[in-house]
Amino acid sequence: MKFEIIDLTLELSNNMPFPQEAYSFVKINEIEKNIYKIEISSQTGTFIEMPWNEFPTDFLLREAQVVDLMDIWMKDIITESRFEKLQIESGAGVILKTKWHSRWVSGDIYIDTPILSLSACDILVGKRIKFIGVDFPLTKEARDLFLSKDIFIIHNLYNLVSLKKDKIFIVIAPLNIKGLRLIPARVFALQPI
């Protein structure tokens, strides 16, 4: 089988528009020719939130079900009806495909966000997903529920509009830093062609 490789990672730069109250930041300074000092918070750009302090190495390549939510926009509530008929393979996860990533350009990523309802979260938990990937901020309640059920969260995915298939493989590659529960990552989709 052949695959198209799609980068789902938010590009980092000094010009990223973070809200003042956010814990995210990135600073890139050249200290010598071609040598840079890079400072980022652990929840900058695309990052993983884990239930434990160790990322399991067997988790790097996973199957994912892509759920098309392109009609979702500001303040919309994502209900359980979107997931009731969803078929998930054991060990797989879900990617919630919206166009919310476009809000990074204006810096309005945290304003009037869509809301994944707790009843929708319960349906996903009941389907025994291993991870959820999103391009919009989740509420604290949703995050806490997923983490309490040992479900990884991939935050701030980018370019989900390029996903055209319902099922893909996803490569999840966090920085190899021990002891963190929030960690920047590169994430790629392998989309069958």
71 compared with 13, residue with greater pLDDT: 71
Give the Cβ contact number of residue 124 at 10 Å: 25
Distance in angstroms (rounded) separating the CA atoms of residues 140 and 116:
11
Residue 24 is predicted with a pLDDT of: 78
Per-residue pLDDT at 17 exceeds 80: no
The structure tokens listed for 63 are: 């199957």
The conformation of residue 140, written as its DSSP 8-state character, comes to H
133 contacts: CB under 8 Å, gap ≥ 6: 8, 64, 93, 94, 95, 96, 153, 154, 157, 170, 187
* HSE-up of residue 171 (Cα within 13 Å, Cβ side): 14
Summarised one tens digit per residue, pLDDT across range 93-152 is 999 999 998 887 777 888 899 999 999 999 999 999 999 999 999 999 999 999 999 999
169 with 190: CB under 8 angstroms? yes
Summarised one tens digit per residue, pLDDT across range 136-166 is 999 999 999 999 999 999 999 999 999 999 9
Mean pLDDT of 12-23: 74
State the pLDDT confidence band at 179, using cuts at 50, 70 and 90: confident
Residue 54 is predicted with a pLDDT of: 82
Per-residue pLDDT at 9 exceeds 80: yes
Instruction: Delineate the domains of the chain, giving CATH numbers in brackets.
Output: 3-10+45-192 (3.50.30.50)
159 with 8: CB under 8 angstroms? yes
Per-residue pLDDT at 20 exceeds 90: no
The conformation of residue 54, written as its DSSP 8-state character, comes to S
State the pLDDT confidence band at 19, using cuts at 50, 70 and 90: low
The conformation of residue 113, written as its DSSP 8-state character, comes to -
Mean pLDDT of 42-65: 90
